[in-house]
A = this chain, B = another copy of it.
């Protein structure tokens, strides 16, 4: 599959993963439309799309007529979402409006305006809840630990129905924590690592909540590659895949690595898990992503050490734009 000259829609295109995908598509010659509602507290940042020929459409998928942006599109990368776990708990109505109801709107618009487009949907490991066994494959029971898990599962399932009932080529990628350039680092709304990076770059101690729990972290270039491969590999269409990263590490190990890469004065303090988050915490997680590796040949290329190093280097001269 060649991307040259193709019209591609990226929803959530001004956000962290969406914008990285937009840049990668531009480099491959695609005509890229980034749709973003710039929701308060979300990952969208105008700086994310700077210096590239990306058409930005500002619009809220809960309300806008979505047919125009879909028109003529051959691939839709669907990353628009409310992704914060505490955000979902605090405002579950806004959360389901974006993550599930608006997905139905987008599905209906795409039927009219882009009936043949391939859709790659950004899903999440969140609704597995606490892992029954590690690593977590795609057959683990769904047990959403929070409102965001409920809404994201519903959104994914509407898209998979669109495949089963109407035959649209749809791939859902259940992502774990992702990080790298263009991450929202202002606060902890996009992974714990976002706020850790900010603190390190500002010379402040960051907080590690808990510590022994395992996580796999995917560097954004590897995530981008997974999305491109998912779209371009017909054998993936109609399927749901977990996407992991390099071997998992404990939060403590990740924190130590970050401190050692950044050098003094980087440091952290360990805290008990806050009570309001403990109720929705999922413990250890890492993905079994062998199905996707087998289907596409994909594998994560960026180690945690390289990824952290690149992230620090990328953000250091741009910090002001991300606070």
Binding site for B on A (CB under 8 A): 89, 92-93, 96-97, 100-101, 104-105, 139, 141-142, 144-147, 149-151, 153-154, 157-158, 161, 164-165, 279-280
Contact = CB atoms under 8 A, between A and B. Distances in A.
Contact of A101 (B96, B145, B146, B164): B96
A161 B147 contact: yes
B144 A100 contact: no
A100 B154 contact: yes
A147 B154 CA distance: 9
Chain copies in the assembled complex: 2
A interface majority secondary structure: helix
Contact of A96 (B93, B154, B161): B154
B92 A96 contact: no
Ranked nearest first, the 9 interchain pairs of A and B with the lowest CB-CB distance are: A154-B154, A150-B157, A165-B279, A92-B104, A142-B142, A150-B154, A144-B157, A93-B104, A96-B101
A144 B165 CA distance: 12
Contacts of A158: 92, 147, 150
A151 B100 CA distance: 9
Nearest to A154: B154
